[in-house]
Amino acid sequence: MVKMRRLGKTDIELTPIGLGCMQFAGTANITRLIIRPIDQEPATAVVRAALDGGVNWFDTAEMYGGGRSEEVLATALKACGVRPGQVSVATKWTPTGRTAASITRTIGDRLRHLGGFPVDLHQIHMPTGSLSSIPAQLKAMAGLLKAGRIRSVGVSNFAARQLELAHRVLASEGVTLAANQVHISLLHRNVERDGVLETARRLGVTLIAYSPLEGGLLTGRFHDDPALARTAPVMRRFFGRKELSAAGLARTRPLIDELRAIGQAYGVSVSQVALNWLITRYGDTVVAIPGASKPGQAAAAAGAMGLRLTDAEVGKLDALSLR
């Protein structure tokens, strides 16, 4: 039985691992340059595998195809026999070039695209780009919650100082800040140094870890076959050119070798050990949203919740990941 984690100070309970749904955005969206998009049928198979593995929540965004990811997710959930309220759905408002008023105006679009599934967590996708201040955006979010149109308020990519501000503004509205979605993985541990982890713990805010497998790097597949790096989506190759280079792969190989050794001892994969490290290392503060383009990947991610790493194993991975 998977032990649930509370979303911030809300009454929403999540499995330690959810499913990231950027890959449902479609081929006409810029996200195709970051992650390979999949159509409805494979998306439904991925969602079914996640559900079968015990996953009870899904993270999408307006930016992922202008609502297409939300629609594909909702269609998949319905095809799997899931009714609104049986799982939790998180989505995000895109601030770029818009005022806070659009948060209120576009909530109807979010709900329409989700086809009857409620918005359990609505997040400001990034702290920059809006024509309105962060406090104005947060007050608009608080208004949606008070009106019963969303269940909780979150942010994404907020620094520690911005997290403090968000918490303070929402508190003045009688609302708690539920989550901050940030990049965390074995190879990206900035939250331990930039104050985000400490601030989240102090304020009772959940951190939602995106890119927990570093675009596949922490599966070991690029180490097994470096030529695969040339087939990765263009933005993945561009932003990951150092880590996907021969020197980069050599630097992280000891970590991958240790992940593989631990995985073999438990009969699990490299990626499952990497994901379990993440949800073990930071305790209940962190939940993760790996993506999946194949049912087997979703099943493996869900299966990572059943692993129990020892303190010694976590410590060894800690040390190797910081080299």
Give the residue numbers marked as catalytic: 64
Q: Where are the beta strands (DSSP E) in the chain?
A: 5-6, 13-14, 19-20, 57-59, 88-93, 121-124, 153-156, 177-183, 206-210, 286-288
Cβ atoms of 169 and 134 closer than 8 Å? yes
Q: How many helices (H) and strands (E) does the chain have?
A: 12, 10
Give how far Cα 105 sits from Cα of 26, 38, 98, 275, Å.
Answer: 24, 29, 11, 37
User: 160 vs 69, 100, 114, 164, 167, CA distance in Å?
Assistant: 29, 22, 31, 6, 11
- Nearest residue to 208 via CA among 11, 2, 18: 18
- The β-bridge relationship of strands 13-14 and 5-6 is antiparallel
Assign 127 to helix, strand or coil: coil
Lookup: tokens for 81: 């026999």
- The helix, strand and coil proportions of the chain, stated in percent and rounded to the nearest 5, come to 50, 15, 35
Could you identify the residue written with the tokens 């594909």?
A: 72
CB 36 within 8 A of CB 65: no
Under DSSP, is residue 280 helix (H, G, I), strand (E, B) or coil?
helix
